[in-house]
Every structure is written in C-alpha cells, then in structure tokens.
C-alpha cells in the first residue's frame, strides 16, 4: 500500500521528466535538420547512442540543477520561462564541452549548438503555458455560477496580486476593477477590466451583479479609506479589505489576506517615517527598563524594544496578571534577550532603588500611570501619589543610579488640563523638564493623544455596547479627540529616546481630530448595523473634567519642527525648581495624611490652568445652589 502511494506521488514528476527529455531529443534532431536544410552534408545524418546519451544526461542534469522540477505546471509563469532559457543555454554549453571531450564534435557542427537552445526553449515552455491556460479556463458555466462575484476597489499592485490569487483559488470570481487613476480606464489586469472610478461604485456594482466588494488599497490614508468605506456602505454590499501596508511590512499579515474593515483602518493616519537606523543604534545592546510594562502602551513598547536588539529588558509592573502575560509572551518570542520581570510600585522608593541597582538599565521608559479621567476625578490622593510622586520617586532614583536616559510618557490632556489626570501629568512633565538641568540623566517627555483600543479607552467600550445591542453612549455630539495606534505611539517614544538631549517635550502631528460621534457610527456600521435604527446612540452630557477638544501644545509653548516632519518640539517652560520641590514635599505630606483638599489645592497652585477651572466650577456650583444664573 505504501509502495503504491509512493508511485502515485512521484508519477506526475516522472511524466514531466519524460516530457522534457523527449523535447530535448526533438530540439537536438531539429537543430541538426535545420543545419542540413541550409548546407547538405551527409555527415549530419550520422548519430550514435553515445551522442544521444550524452545529450540527454547532460541536459537532464542541468534542468534538474536549475530547479525546474520544483515548480508546478499549474502555476507556470515568466520566472519559469527565464529558468528554461537559462537551462537551455547552460545545457548547450555543457553538451558542447562534453561532446568535444568525447569525440572532438566530429558529427556536430558548431551551428547546431547555437540552434539547439533556440528550439528547446519553446518546446519546454509552450506546453507549460498551454497547460496553465487550460487549467485556468477550465471552469464551466455551472462552476462559474457557484463562485461569488466580486468587484475589486484599487487596480494597483495590491489589486493585481489579489486578483491573481482569486483566479487561482477559484472561490471568488473577479468581475472588474474600480480605480481613480484615469490612465487605467479601459485597461485589463489579468483579463479583468478597469470599469471606472470609485464614485461610480453604486451604478457599476449593479451592472456587473457584484455580490461583494474587495478593497485592495493597503497604502491608503484614513481619509481615502473613510471615503471608500462610505461608498461601500451606500452600495449595501458586504465588503472586505486587504491589510494595511504597515501590517504587511511588520509581518502581521499578507497582501492577499482578506479581513473585515476595522476601526483603526478608518482612523489610522499616514505612518510616521522614523529614523530606524538611529533608533536601532541607540537601543541595540542596551539594557532597558519599562515601568507599567504590562499595560497597553507598556506591553507594545516591550515588544518593539525587544525587536530592536536590546541585550536585556526589565518589565516593572504593579499588576501580577499583566506582568505574567507579557513575560510569558516575551519569553516565547525573544529567547535570546535577558528578561527580568519585577513586581513593584513606582511610588515605592526602596523597590525603585533596588531594581535600578540590580538591573543597571541604560534607558528607562516610564509608562506606569493612572489614566481613566472620570474615575480619577474622585481619586485625588491616588492620582497625585501615583502619577506625580511616583514619577518623582522614579526620576530621583534614576538620577542616583546614573541612568543615561529617562523617557516620561505623557498625554495631550496635560495641555490646559481640565481634569485631575491631565493636571497630574502636567506636574510630572514640569518636574522632569526642570530636573533635567540638575541631573546627568537625560529627561525627555513624549506627549500624544488617545490610543486606539487601549485598555479603558472608548473603542472597547463601544464594541461591548454594540455587542450587547446598545445603546452606544457618547457624551456630546461635538466632542472630538486625536487618535493614534498603539504601535505608532510606541514608535514615537522610541524616536524621542534617541532624538532629545534633555528637558524636551516631543509631540506628534496627529492630523485632524475625529468626532467621537463619527467613531460610534462607523463602529456600528462595521458591525453590519445601522446607527439609530439597529443600535441607538445616546448623548449623556460631558463628564466631570472632560473637554470638547484636546490640544497638543500650551499657548506659551511655542513649538518648532524637528528633523522629522511629523514630530514637533515644545519650547521649554522653566519654573522655580526649588519652589516646585517644596510644593511636592507638601503634596507628599498631604498624601500621607490623606488630606485630599490640601492635595487638590497644591495641584491647582502648580497648574494654574487647572486651578482656574476648579475655581470656575465652584462659582457655578454656588450660583446654582443660590438659584442664580451666570
């Protein structure tokens, strides 16, 4: 039984080899006959079994050596023809050399060696291409009727590769392309016509009876993707997309892998072009410590740092479960790196000093922070203890341990903060900016907006609400936010780590802000539901400490461009560092005494913008209590 199975497996290969050797003989005799037709010579009619044996043995060996039998006729293409051409030329040279050594080419004129490869290439190539054409066109009408008719949006390189795979696999039947490039109008790609532009999607999809739309635009920016998705939604046809270009480059996906359109496809922006050479040189072989390494930003930062060839990575995390998860993942994916998982709290001075003393990092990325705005509004003591005093404790410990670089991960909510979380991060920024003048450690700050799909963010909340049938809750119809992806945020952090000299705040040009209402509507549509019909959107009013829009720079922070067009540098705002330290000592005493009123007062004094909002809120509350009106 095993023998018969083996014969069944090798039989097609034997048939291919026999075919090719037959073509070799035909080419050889054809070359001799061609020479005879030009100059009559009775010696050309002479041949021997030894001559034919040498020709077959030598040419067969060359065909095998060039790898011609690794491919299948079913997928024969231009590379196979080039391979056949190479094998024919090399075979002719090898045959000539072998026959010269055998009998000095007594019965083989030199012109035969020139004509032989010219005849052999079409004899080997034509049957392969004819076979592929026959296989590709073999589907009868009933089989075609069973295939799902698809319209491909985008006739570029990705669209061409997608259609080629679809034609090969047979599950989908491409019926046309749409592309806004006018030069492609009327062209054909793999025999499939380019029918028109994107704006004609509704009409053309009905004319060709399309059953599905496939978006093949991996390099499209968010504005282009939003336009195409809106057109797809108007057609009321199901649609899929190929992965984004950055996902393909990073190895997370392949071009022909169809997937549902995700919200980050619509909100993700043009990737920032970073200086990866400088980043790799700045991190390669270094020892890196990441606080909050089990969180959304921290864990992705761990992955990217590990890929860049650091020698050792310490993950400092307060959550036992998060630490366990990221450590297990890093162990599996980066076995060559020294990994050190440490369970600890950045507000614990002894723990910070011990881990820095034992691990001796070159760089520290401080991602540990409380960030949930509405929750922190009522947790004054814990917010300041963790976000402010924790940053101070870790920064001082890094200074004593002679750490080369300290990167603080901040937020756009620190600009004109309307909430306690933003105010606490602003104080952390002030401390790091001004402490940089008194330390050998480089203290840098990276500031960015909301991160898509991070823990506690609006995207997973909306997803859960949609899964439960609604309603989806939005605080205000006009509220907007900047968005970026987790990998993009981490790349900015890594760039800042090698770009700054100390005391700088870096911020990303985050494009246009996105309306949260639009975000909710798109997520509902991507779940194949209709907003306000299948899933209701309910406006609940702005929460305590929430602004309608966020900013990346303070009005007194004149910003300038860096060497990277998407990264900006905020001008340094100096404060009285001794006064700042005294205020933080008072804050530490108030935290230990659990005096939240004192803690809030200190925050208001250190961040006047927040203090003014606090006072305005109290005035509003008094007027409402007295029945007055502002």
| Residue 281 structure tokens | 């040189």
Single out the catalytic residue among 413, 425, 547, 566: 413
- C-alpha–C-alpha distance, residues 42 and 12, integer Å: 40
**Closest alpha carbon to 442 in 513, 514, 369, 366:** 366
State the residue for tokens 């199901």: 238
Using DSSP bridges, classify how beta strands 287-291 and 212-215 pair: parallel, antiparallel or unpaired: unpaired
Q: Please name the residues in contact with 158: beta carbons below 8 A apart, sequence gap of 6 or more.
A: 216, 217, 218, 219, 242, 255
- Asked if residues 204 and 177 have their Cβ atoms less than 8 Å apart, the reply is no
Using DSSP bridges, classify how beta strands 363-366 and 287-291 pair: parallel, antiparallel or unpaired: parallel
- C-alpha–C-alpha distance, residues 293 and 274, integer Å: 23
Q: Given CA atoms 241, 246, 247, 253 in this order, what sign does their dihedral have?
A: positive
413 flagged as catalytic: yes
Q: What is the DSSP string of 255-311?
A: TT--BPPPHHHHH--PPP---HHHHHHHHTT-EEEEETTTSHHHHHHHHHHHHTT-S
Local structure of residue 531 (DSSP, 8 states)? B
- Asked if residues 231 and 197 have their Cβ atoms less than 8 Å apart, the reply is no
- For 454-504, strand residue ranges (E) read 472-474, 480-481, 483-484
- C-alpha–C-alpha distance, residues 486 and 243, integer Å: 17
- CA 19, 21, 24: angle at the middle one, nearest 5? 115
Local structure of residue 208 (DSSP, 8 states)? T
Cα–Cα distances (Å) from 394 to 295, 332, 400, 471, 572, in that order, read 18, 29, 10, 43, 22
State the residue for tokens 């992965």: 243
Q: Please name the residues in contact with 512: beta carbons below 8 A apart, sequence gap of 6 or more.
A: none
Catalytic residues: 413
């Amino acid at each position: 039984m095993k023998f018969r199975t083996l014969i069944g497996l090798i039989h097609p290969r034997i048939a291919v080899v026999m075919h090719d050797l037959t073509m070799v003989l035909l080419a050889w005799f054809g070359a001799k006959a061609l020479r005879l037709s030009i100059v009559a010579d009775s010696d050309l009619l002479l041949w021997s079994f030894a001559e034919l044996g040498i020709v077959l043995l030598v040419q067969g060996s060359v065909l095998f050596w060039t790898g011609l039998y690794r491919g299948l006729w079913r997928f024969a293409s231009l590379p196979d023809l080039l391979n056949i051409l190479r094998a024919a030329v090399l075979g002719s040279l090898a045959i000539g050399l072998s026959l010269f050594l055998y009998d000095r080419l007594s019965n083989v004129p030199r012109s035969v060696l020139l004509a032989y490869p010219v005849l052999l290439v079409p004899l080997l190539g034509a049957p392969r291409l004819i076979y592929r054409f026959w296989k590709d066109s073999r589907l009868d009408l009933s089989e075609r009727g069973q295939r799902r008719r698809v319209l491909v949006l985008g006739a570029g390189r990705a669209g061409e590769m997608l259609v080629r795979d679809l034609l090969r696999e047979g599950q989908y039947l491409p019926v046309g392309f749409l592309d806004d490039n006018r030069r492609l109008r009327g062209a054909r790609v793999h025999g499939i016509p380019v029918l028109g532009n994107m704006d004609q999607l509704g009409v053309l999809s009905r004319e060709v009876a399309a059953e599905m739309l496939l978006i093949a635009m991996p390099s499209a920016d968010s504005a282009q993707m939003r336009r195409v998705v809106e057109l797809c939604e108007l057609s009321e046809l199901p649609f899929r997309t190929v992965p984004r270009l950055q996902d393909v480059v990073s190895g997370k996906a392949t071009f022909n892998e169809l997937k549902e359109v995700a919200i980050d496809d619509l909100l993700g922006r043009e990737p920032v072009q970073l200086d990866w050479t400088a980043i790799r040189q700045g991190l390669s072989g270094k020892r890196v410590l990441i606080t909050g390494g089990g969180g959304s930003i921290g864990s992705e930062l761990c992955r990217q740092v590990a890929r860049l060839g650091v020698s050792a990575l310490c993950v400092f995390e307060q959550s036992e479960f998060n630490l366990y998860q990221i450590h297990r993942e890093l162990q599996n994916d980066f076995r060559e790196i020294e990994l050190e998982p440490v369970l600890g709290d950045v507000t614990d001075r002894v723990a910070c000093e011990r881990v820095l003393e034992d691990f001796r990092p070159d760089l520290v990325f401080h991602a540990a922070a409380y960030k949930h705005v509405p929750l922190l509004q009522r947790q004054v003591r814990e917010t300041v203890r963790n976000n402010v005093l924790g940053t101070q404790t870790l920064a001082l410990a890094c200074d004593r341990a002679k750490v080369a670089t300290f990167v603080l991960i901040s937020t756009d909510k620190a600009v004109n903060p309307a909430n306690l979380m933003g105010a606490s991060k602003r104080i952390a920024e002030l401390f790091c900016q001004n402490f940089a003048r008194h330390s050998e450690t480089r203290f840098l700050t990276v500031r960015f907006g909301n991160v898509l799909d991070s823990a506690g963010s609006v995207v997973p909340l909306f997803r859960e609400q949609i899964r439960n049938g609604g309603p989806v809750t939005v605080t205000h119809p006009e509220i907007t936010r900047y968005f970026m992806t987790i990998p993009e945020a981490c790349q900015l952090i890594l760039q800042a780590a090698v770009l700054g000299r100390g005391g700088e705040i870096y911020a990303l040009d985050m494009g246009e802000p996105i309306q949260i209402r639009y975000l909710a509507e798109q997520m509902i549509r991507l779940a194949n539901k209709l907003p306000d019909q299948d899933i209701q959107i309910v406006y609940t009013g702005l929460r305590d400490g929430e602004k309608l829009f966020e900013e990346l720079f303070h009005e007194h922070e004149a910003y300038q461009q860096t060497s990277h067009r998407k990264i900006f540098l905020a001008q340094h705002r100096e404060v009285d560092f001794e006064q700042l330290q005294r205020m933080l000592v008072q804050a530490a005493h108030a935290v230990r005494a659990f005096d939240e009123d004192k803690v809030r007062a200190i925050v208001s004094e250190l961040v006047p913008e927040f203090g003014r909002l606090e006072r305005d809120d109290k005035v509003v509350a008094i007027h409402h209590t007295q029945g007055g009106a502002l």
